[in-house]
Structure 1
Amino acid sequence: MGELDGQAHAAEAPVDDPAVPLDPRALGDRDAEFTAFATTAQAELGRMAWLLTGDVHLAAELVQTALVRTYTAWPRARAGDPLAYARRVLANARIDLWRRRRREVLVAPDDVPHQATADAGATVEHRDELVRALAELSPQQRRVVVLRYLVGLSEREVADDLGVSAGTVKTQASRGLHRLRASLGELPGESGD
């Protein structure tokens, strides 16, 4: 009867406990759960990565890195807000890449096409101007501006994602917006209406 009790306790042990071997069926559920998360989060992470880097290929690489690291830590990531966790991993991966290269490898403002295609109209032109202006910001200002205004996070969410205080977010956002206004003029949505 003692063996049965021991087996019953082993079967009731939480799947996320690293001391307990994973049941393949539970692993399949984990894979399905993560796949569903990755499918819904990939577009937002890709947009954020592209805005942070200005390079579609580097952005794709950062998204892949963020998703791999998030999957590796999935039990911890899903316990809180998995998207916030993945955004933080992505931002940290961008910092790691920058540190390895010791300089920013962003598109030079002169290398971004100045002409939009006839099909895309002014949207592409404005997007290109925004990418050029973002490239002129410091890495910290760029991360804050992207997360706060382009991804749409609150100051607290940005602070949590980047591991800084809300005051730092406010300061960096203010300075970043000031530099963007100097580069772009009036920002969309800021008209005096």
Structure 2
Amino acid sequence: FEDSRGLAFETVDGAMIEDVVVSNITMRGIVDAPLFLRLGRRMRGPKGRPIGTMRRILIQNIVSSNATLLPSVIAGLAGHPIEDVRISDVLLHQVGGAPAAMAKLQPPEEELGYPEATMFGDLPATGLFVRHARNLELSNIEIAVAAADPRPAFRLDDVADADVFRVKVPAGVGFALKDVTGFRSFGSRTVPDRTLAGPFTGEV
């Protein structure tokens, strides 16, 4: 991908996205989020259809350079999390340079919105924003910025069971957590080893 949108998986009308493997992709100059996973409930379809699912997604061996301010996004719904996502061997290089106020943003849920990476507006993370997810594994991931950025590298909201192994982040906050249970980080030079049963809100 070059000077284009990033990789997106989206289900908002009741579809199931399951058992997906993505590997060996290079991106340059992505104009929105390099990775965008969205489970919503617009529900334009037969009446009574249940909310969809997104689970068992494996993303590996990805390089993204010179992407915009938007981080990658994994965004489910309260009560309907995105499940079983594994991201490994990934380099996400962003332009950085966000204003300080962006680190404190509380993005809207936009449950009924059209799925696109810009739907939540500016986001309070440099590399990856995750909300309403369960069983997340992040390993061998580097977040890099061209200009210093006050936002945490990772922001996790309402996430259950997150394992983090060998990540590298810019100077500043590695992980900002909100209502996170079952968080473990280990083996990283720039993020301390922690085990948090939760629910936990704070920085790691």
Q: Identify the TM-score tier after normalising by the shorter chain.
A: under 0.3
TM-score with structure 1 setting the length: 0.26
* Structure possessing the higher radius of gyration over alpha carbons: 1
* TM, length-normalised to structure 2: 0.25
> Which of the pair is proportionally richer in helix?
1
Q: Which has the higher strand share?
A: 2
